[in-house]
Amino acid sequence: MNLDSRLDVPLPAVRHQAESVRSKRESAAICRERSAADLLASLSMLNANQRQRMETSAAMWAERADVLQRFEDALAQGTAAVAAKQQVFGDEPGAELLRL
pLDDT at 60: 96
Q: What is the mean pLDDT of each run of 10 residues along the chain (100 residues)?
A: 54 53 76 95 92 95 95 92 78 55
Query: At residue 16, what are phi and psi to the nearest 5 degrees?
Result: -70, -25
Angle formed by the axes of helices 48-89 and 28-43, nearest 10°: 160
Q: What is the pTM of this model?
A: 0.60
pLDDT at 62: 96
Task: Answer whether 57's CB lies under 8 Å from 38's CB.
Answer: yes
Sign of CA dihedral 59, 64, 70, 72: negative
Q: Say what the pLDDT of residue 97 is.
A: 53
Determine the pLDDT at residue 84.
Answer: 84
- What are the sequence ranges of the domains in the chain? 25-99
